[in-house]
Structures are given as C-alpha cells and as structure tokens.
Structure 1
Amino acid sequence: MVCKCLHIKLPLELIVNSNDLLFFNKILFGLFIVISICSFFYINCVLLFTLRSKPVFCETSRFILLFNLLFADTFQQVPNLLLYILACFNMTIPFDACGFLVLLCLATDLISPLTLAVMSVERYVAICLPLRHATIFTVSSTGMVIAVVWAFSFIHILIRVFMLVHTFTIIPFNPHMNDFCSKEAMFFAPIFNDFEKVYASILFVSVGLAIIGSYVGVALVATSASTDKASARKVLQTLLLHLIQLCLVLTSSMFSTIIIVIARTVRRLTILRIYNVCFVFLSILPRCLSALIYGLRDQTIRPVLMHNLCCGGRTSVFLNKSR
C-alpha cells in the first residue's frame, strides 16, 4: 500500500512542478522575444527614417531597394509578434481575425527574397557594368521593379485565398478555431503542404541562382586589373551575406516542419525552448539582418544611422542647454 501511494503521489508532484516550470519558461522566453522584436523594430524604423532623411538615399537605386526590403521586414514583425503572444498564452481568436493576421504576415513573405535577388543583380551591374549602371538602375526603373515584386506577393496571397475558399467548399467552414492562430492552423488542408513545398523550392532555386550568379560574376571581374579590388571585395561580402540571409528566410518557411519533427523525440519543456530559439533565429533574425548588413557596413548610411540612434537626441539636448 505504501509503495502504491508513493507511486501515485510522486508523478502528481512532478506534474505540478513541470507545469510551474513550463509557465515560468513561457514568461521568461516571452519577455526575451518581445524585447528582441521591439529592439529590432526600433532599429529598423530608425533606419527607414534615415533612408528618407537625405536626397542621396531617395535617388540611389540600392538605397531605394533597401528601403523596400526594410519596410517589408519591419511590417511583418508586428503581426508576427501578435501571433507569438497568442500562441504563448494559448489564446484562440475567430477564424476571420486569424486569417487577417496570417495574411498580413504572408503579404510580405515574398518581398524579402525577391528584393534580395534584385539587390544582388544591382550590385553585379554596379561592378561588372559600371558604365551602364546609371541607365539600367534609374529611380523609375527601380520603382517598376519594386512594383513587380509587390505584384508577385499579391498574386501569392490570392492563390492562397482561392485555395482556402476551395477547401471550404469541400470541408464545412467553422468560424471558431479550436487551436491558437497560426499559418498551419489556417492552411490545414494537405494541398497547402504541397503548395508550400513547390513554392519554397521554386523561390529558393530562382533567388539562389540570381545571388550565386551575381557572386560568380563579380568574383570573375574582381580578378581583372582594371577593377577596384576594395569595392569588388566588399560587394562579394555583401552577396555572401545576402545568400546567408536568403537561406535563413527560406528556412523559416519550414519552421513548423522542423518543430513537428523535433517534437516527436523531446519533452514539452524542451520543445518550448527549441521553439523560442528557432522563432528568434529563423523568424526574427533574418528580417533584421538588413539593418546590420547595410546600416553598419555602408559608409554612407552608418554615420547618419548612428547619429539618429545615439547622438541625435543628445546633440539636441546639448544645443538647447547651450542656448
């Protein structure tokens, strides 16, 4: 009898302690991720403001493309944060509200990789075809390219909406969600898994080829004696960072698949920690690398950005005190 009582009591204590530890980890990781997103959001907003503070940033094609990339990444962080908070506290919302948040995330999901491809081609033209760069990448042509990128993103959203409507012609529509809001809960039919695989494969191959082709072209031109070695080396480093960023962005599309595979072999507390780490490094970090790649490495942007981040407020205070 004693053994049976101990056998029953011990698991109950473990369950209580496990629930308390799980709740503590939720709060701890939740605060960490909210602070991380808010910090990156602030840096991206300051960089967006910087890119509109001087005429040179508004009239140069690579800075216009960078603004588009940053705008899409910053815009996506807001619904991403809301979805994370809902998932963290197991909160359910109506299907319509969930669909709105998920579509906001997906609206800019295609912008980043396509803009990275265009930025890589622009750097290739700048190094390999310097005399034709000013005529190829004008303000108007860059604006047209950005419009095409956003049009592809809009088509991507329309395809998903039509597939979802078609799904509900077969499966009865339930306006109340039984689980917390996520892309996987929204697009639950098997057809979406096939679409996701085809979409990610085509996107990865096409954008990857554009970046790798630009890298190889710049590397070949860099060997010639007439090329500026320092500029070519810096462009090669930027293209390599673009390729890493692309890999992280496309890996985030397989985020749920990675978590499901890991969840089969580890405990719930461990999967929570892995989920939070993957969320930071696969969903947040790739969308914030642009500020580090260009904001800190570009000699034109860095002084203005650092002034806006650190010294702008202080200098204004000092100027007011001196008066």
Structure 2
Amino acid sequence: MSNATPSQTNITVGLQYRGLLEIVLFSAPITLPCCLFLFINGIMLFTLRSKSVFREISRYIFLYNLLFADTVQMALSQLMYILAACRLRLTYAVCGVLVMLAELTNEVSPLTLVLMSLERYVAVCYPLRHATIITIRNTAVAIIVVWAFSSLNVLIQVLLLLEFPFEELESLQMKDYCSDIAMFLSPMSDHYDKALTCFVFLSAGVAVTLSYIGVVIAARSASTDKASARKARNTLLLHLVQLGLSLSSTIHDPLLIAMSKFLDRVAIVRIHSILYVCIILLPRCLSALIYGIRDQTIRPILMYHLCCRLKLPRLGSQPT
C-alpha cells in the first residue's frame, strides 16, 4: 500500500505534466517545420523520378542524390533531436548506427555539390564534348565513388570507435543523449573527424570556386553561349552558398561545447534549439525549395504534386 499523501501525488503529477509540457513546447515548433520540409523534399524526390527527362539528364540525377542525402540527414537529425527532447538515452550501439549514418550523408552532400559544379563547368567550357563526358554511366560511377569514399571514412571512424574499452563500462546504456559528440569517445576519433571535415569542405570549396572562375572566363569568349554561361555562373554561385551553409553545420558542436562552460543546462538547451534550426535544418531544406522554384522544368511538375495533383493550366504539355 502506498504511503504517498495526496499533496505529494499532486506534486509528482504536476512535475510530470510540467516535463511533458516543456517537451511539447520545445520540440513542436521545430518538429512541425521539419516535417513540412521532409514532406517537400519527399515530393521533390518523387518529382525527380516521375518523368524520364529527370532520369536521363545528369544534373537532375546529381540533384536527386543531393536531395536524398540531405533528406536522410534531416530525418536522422530530427530523430536524435526528438530523442534528446524526450530525454531518452540509447545504447552505444544504437546511437552509433544513427551517428554514422548521419556522418555518411553529411559527407555525401558537399561531394555531390562538387560533381554538380563540374558538370556545369563541362557544359559551358566544353559544350561539344559534354554529351560524351557527362554520360549516364559516368554519372552513376561518380555517384558510386562519392558514396564509397564516404562509406570508407565512416568505416574508419567505426574502427577508431572500437578501440574504446566498452567492456570496462558498467552498462552499454549511454549516460548522455545521443549525438556525434557523445560518440567521439577517444581523442583520435575527434581529431580524425575534424581533419576529415576540413579536407572535404576545403577540397569542395576549391573545386567549386575553380569551376566558377572557369565559367566566368569562358563567358567572355565570343564562342560561348552568353545565356548558358550566365545560368551556369548563377548555378555555381548557388552551389557555393549551399556549400557554405553545409559548412556552417560544422560549427554547431564547437559552439555548444564552448557555451556549455559558462551557461546552465536550460540555456544550452534553448540555444541548441535555435542553432539546430538555423544551421542544421535550414541548409538541408533549401535545396528543394531553390531548385524547385528556379528550374523551369521542375517547377510546374513539383507544384502539380504539391497541389495533390490538381489540374493546373498547361500541365499536359510537360515532357514525359
């Protein structure tokens, strides 16, 4: 028989209600927009597979790969955010799988931007050879290489993680919430992750910048299609912005670690929510919105699917 008094019971229920209310108030304003962005990205992915024109042109295949990686990254990030908001602690094995999948897709995005930039460079600077260089087969090989390179780095991170003496722990249950910081259990893992991030983004930045410079130089040539060169230049600028936004996500963890030294846990949680939206979610959802609105071929079909396939004017003339 319980010895709890009615007042103690009311206090316990009140604390539980307060905890639940706090979880809802913190997670709902972030979860709902994320679900909307995931829905838009999903529609965009479906759109890019709905017409043969999107399956037979390399730049749309690269775009599909970029959107797929960003969508998976967004879904995994949101899942880990909800788990942390609900104060659920996972085992090291489960958290490790989530973090490594997030790391994999996080590396695929900037490397895919490099492929998209090189494709635009070849289209403007070598228009006569574009069809022979940028083939469907070469596109598939390039994408496979990107995923293989990213998977190799994830494998190395797993091997570094296995060096940690898990057998000495009392339990494999994590003492903190699942995150990439919590999974870097050894200094070597942390150093490798930082070195890899610097290498990937520095290489990607150089490749996109050189492609942009090459297109600008080619645009001044009398033999170059000015309209095509201008569109390619704007596209490469967009890739640079996207790369910068993706790079901004790498400052998320260092900022939180630095601020945790002089702020309390409640303030850190609130700042984490703001940073999560600004530098984790937004960069992952901008690609679908920008390309969906900017591309004249994608826009009407995307709007058709977003409007639940309601009949819109001149949709019947879209390519198949």
For the aligned pair, the TM-score class normalised by the smaller chain equals 0.7 to 0.9
2: CA distance, partners of 1:170 / 1:55 = 53
* Aligned residue-pair number: 297
Contact kept in structure 1, 2:304 and 2:311, CA below 8 Å:
no
The answer for the alignment partner of 2:186 in structure 1 is 189
What is the aligned-residue identity percentage?
A: 48
The answer for the alignment partner of 1:4 in structure 2 is none
Secondary structure of the residue aligned to 1:224 is coil
The answer for the alignment partner of 1:321 in structure 2 is none
Give the 3 Å change call, closer, same or farther, for CA 293–235 of structure 1 in structure 2.
Answer: farther
Map residues 215-234 of structure 1 onto 2, 5 A cutoff.
Answer: 215-234=212-231
The answer to whether 1:261 aligns with 2:258 is yes
Structure 1 position 143, deviation (Å):
0.3
The answer for the alignment partner of 2:3 in structure 1 is none
Structure 1 position 27, deviation (Å):
2.9
**Structure 1, gaps ≥5 residues long:** 1-18, 316-323
1: CA distance, partners of 2:227 / 2:122 = 16
The answer for the alignment partner of 1:8 in structure 2 is none
Contact kept in structure 1, 2:293 and 2:299, CA below 8 Å:
yes
Match of 2:158 among 142, 156, 161: 161
TM-score (norm 1): 0.85
Contact kept in structure 2, 1:211 and 1:239, CA below 8 Å:
yes
Secondary structure of the residue aligned to 2:177 is coil
1:86 maps to amino acid: L
Structure 1 position 65, deviation (Å):
0.6
Summarize deviations over 1:108-158 as a string: whole Å, max 9, x none: 121101000000000111111111111001001000000001101110110
Structure 1 position 171, deviation (Å):
6.2
Structure 1 position 182, deviation (Å):
1.0
Structure 1 position 173, deviation (Å):
7.7
For the aligned residues, what is the CA RMSD? 2.2
Structure 1 position 43, deviation (Å):
0.7
1:78 maps to amino acid: A
Summarize deviations over 1:6-27 as a string: whole Å, max 9, x none: xxxxxxxxxxxxx999976653
Contact kept in structure 1, 2:48 and 2:54, CA below 8 Å:
yes
**Structure 2, gaps ≥5 residues long:** 1-15, 313-320
Secondary structure of the residue aligned to 1:113 is helix
The answer for the alignment partner of 2:68 in structure 1 is 71
The answer for the alignment partner of 2:11 in structure 1 is none
The answer for the alignment partner of 2:232 in structure 1 is 235
The answer to whether 1:152 aligns with 2:149 is yes
Map residues 93-108 of structure 1 onto 2, 5 A cutoff.
Answer: 93-108=90-105
Summarize deviations over 1:188-222 as a string: whole Å, max 9, x none: 22112211221111111110011000111111111
Summarize deviations over 1:278-317 as a string: whole Å, max 9, x none: 11121111112211231110111111111111251467xx
The answer for the alignment partner of 2:300 in structure 1 is 303
The answer to whether 1:138 aligns with 2:135 is yes
Structure 1 position 57, deviation (Å):
0.5
Secondary structure of the residue aligned to 1:108 is helix
Match of 2:44 among 47, 63, 77: 47
The answer for the alignment partner of 2:268 in structure 1 is 271
Structure 1 position 170, deviation (Å):
9.3
Contact kept in structure 1, 2:161 and 2:185, CA below 8 Å:
no
Larger CA deviation: 178-187 vs 242-251: 242-251
Contact kept in structure 2, 1:22 and 1:269, CA below 8 Å:
no
